[in-house]
Amino acid sequence: MMKTGIPTLDDHLHGGVPQGKSLVYYAHPGVECNVFGMQTVHRAVSEGGHGIYVTSSTDPRMIRDQFKEFGWDAAEYGDRFVIVDGFSGLIGADSPEQYVVSNPDDIESLTQSIKQAMEGAYEPSVIVFESLSTIMDLCGEDETLDAIKEWNKYAMLYDHVVVYNFTAWPYSEDTLAHVKGDICNSVILIGGITEKVIFGQYFGVKKIDWDEITKKCVLFKVLKPGGIRVYLPKILVTGPFDAGKSTFVHALSTRAVSVDRLGTTVALDHGHVDHRGFAADIFGTPGQQRFDPIVKLLSGEAMGIFLILDSANTDDFVRARQMLDITETVGLPVVVVANKQDIAGALTPEEIRKELKMTNDIPVMPAVASSREGVFEAFDVMVERVLEANSR
């Protein structure tokens, strides 16, 4: 199995792409697509594998710069990373690359170079096409479709994995149907959401022929450096006064800001989390009753809620339940964080569950936010819940 390196996608593919199979990143115009192929080849090479990158619309030097922008240094990969240069020939430039396509607008010439690269690889590799759409524009749609079949067959022979970046410009219906349908072993759809108020980008598995499809679409965001992250645009952190909400937001975040006066949050805490392939924006609400209108304002469109509690302060538990009601987010995943586990008189998570009269399906996670204990465990549970809730 060859991992794609895209967070959660390898799970959806049941472990990755089997050797000898092909995959298309099928993107709607206007959505970032090339980074998918780049991240996949980076993953393979950084794990000690071999990668071949077929460039068609970008100068190989620029390609290396693009990798660098994500924090991936192609020079470190040495000869395990090879570029098939299908660009320099277009502008008549010299190329220092090992494989250079002499006539990039002639499919035969391209096929020849690709076959050479496939034969020349020491071991099964990942071959990523920077832009299948550019090849179609240069060589023609039908010619390219025929060539893909040939490349895939050849890759199968050598146990290579082939990955195509494809942007669905208005080609003929037939062409799009083939790319989306029968021509490759798996298809990952990459699209944008514009109907709703949130503007986001998502990906999801459209087809795999080696296992069952799990129909899950996840939102993603591209970080520089970093690459693709599964993205949760809004996770709410709420709870009674002095439960440690701001501390929790800061403990979890790579960077965060707070609007607090005299130690009390008066507007909100806002933080970015980047953890194990997941990125999230975290909104912490004020806890005191007089700020309730702000809590209501901030809670719209949240994907999940952390309810933070001071484990020793049972008097505030009624208020905690009340705050959940204020957020008007019935049905969203809730994770209760039993904070301040280190102080005297702290109840255990189970005691807290009983005290709050929470059902068993709501997780209660122990934490000490001030020393970051348990905060990422709580975040992991939240991510799991949110993904589950959105796959239904």
| Interface map 287-306 toward another protein (x if CB under 8 A) | ------xx--xxxxx-----
Question: What is the smallest separation between the CB atom of 300 and another protein, expressed in angstroms?
Answer: 3
310, 344 Cβ separation under 8 angstroms = no
| Interface map 223-242 toward another protein (x if CB under 8 A) | ----------xx--------
Of 149, 270, 275, 319, which lies in the binding site for another protein, with binding defined by CB under 8 A?
270
Question: What is the smallest separation between the CB atom of 57 and another protein, expressed in angstroms?
Answer: 21
Question: What is the smallest separation between the CB atom of 50 and another protein, expressed in angstroms?
Answer: 37
Question: Both tokens of residue 137?
Answer: 């524009």
Peptide bond into 60 cis (omega under 30): no
Residue with Cβ nearer another protein (140 or 192):
192
Cα 320 from Cα 312, distance rounded (Å)? 13
330 binds another protein (CB under 8 A): no
| 264 phi, psi to nearest 5 deg | -115, 135
Cα 215 from Cα 206, distance rounded (Å)? 8
Residue ranges in 47-140 assigned as alpha helix (H):
60-69, 74-77, 88-91, 107-120, 132-139
Give, for 206, the enclosing helix (H) or strand (E).
strand 200-208
Cα 70 from Cα 66, distance rounded (Å)? 7
Cα 214 from Cα 11, distance rounded (Å)? 9
Question: Both tokens of residue 11?
Answer: 């799970």
Residue with Cβ nearer another protein (124 or 192):
192
199 binds another protein (CB under 8 A): yes
Question: What is the smallest separation between the CB atom of 366 and another protein, expressed in angstroms?
Answer: 29
Question: What is the smallest separation between the CB atom of 224 and another protein, expressed in angstroms?
Answer: 12
Residue 17: beta bridge partners?
Answer: 2
Question: What is the smallest separation between the CB atom of 377 and another protein, expressed in angstroms?
Answer: 25
227, 43 Cβ separation under 8 angstroms = no
Question: What is the smallest separation between the CB atom of 30 and another protein, expressed in angstroms?
Answer: 6
27 contacts: CB under 8 Å, gap ≥ 6: 33, 36, 165, 166, 167, 168, 189, 190, 191
| Interface map 128-167 toward another protein (x if CB under 8 A) | ----------------------------------------
124 binds another protein (CB under 8 A): no
Per CB under 8 A, residues contacting another protein are: 30, 192, 194, 197-199, 233-234, 255, 257, 259, 267-268, 270, 272, 281, 283, 293-294, 297-301
